[in-house]
Amino acid sequence: MSTTSKGYYKYCPVCSKRLGIRRDGGLPRLACKKCGFIFYQNSKPTASAFITDRRGRILLVKRAINPKRDWWDAAGGFLEDGEHPLKGVQRELREELGVRLKNISPLGIYMDTYRNHYTVSVLNIIYRAEIASGTMRPMDDVSEARWFRTTEIPWSRLAFRWMKPAMRDLLKVLK
């Protein structure tokens, strides 16, 4: 079995017949030969935030779960179906750290892949923000939260590929 989502799904969610590959729009797609259902594979959206403070430090969280357990990440996560990214990042920060955000501004959008049971493309929507209220404590899928000076970023232990270009963009903004 392939490790991509195209190789992971085997059966049609409409009629339960076996899926095959069909060219649609010039691309190979999972499709059902019986009912015609096309299983479009889309990037999974996330919303995360690099939290900064008045001293110019950046808050990173240590992952408590796989993939990349014990690696440093930005606080955030996958959006719920139909959830606006701004609402999603606010929800994720309440769930992971128990804080509310202020001065939320877009930093950028970064593509990557995420591997858990299978590999999916991920569209990472990243914000820069500050803590407005709440007592910060690691919860949910976070084991630790730590402030880093810009000279102390743990570059070799950043959890995902998208984080390095995003962190470089953040550092440009902070100058």
Q: Which domains does the chain have, with CATH numbers?
A: 5-39 (no CATH), 44-174 (3.90.79.10)
Q: Categorize the per-residue pLDDT at 160 as very low, low, confident or very high, splitting at 50, 70 and 90.
A: very high
Contact in structure between 77 and 155 (CB atoms under 8 Å): no
CB 97 within 8 A of CB 75: yes
pLDDT of residue 3: 43
The pLDDT-based confidence of 79 (bands split at 50, 70, 90) is: very high
Whole-number Å distance between alpha carbons of 147 and 61: 9
**Averaged pLDDT, 132-152:** 97
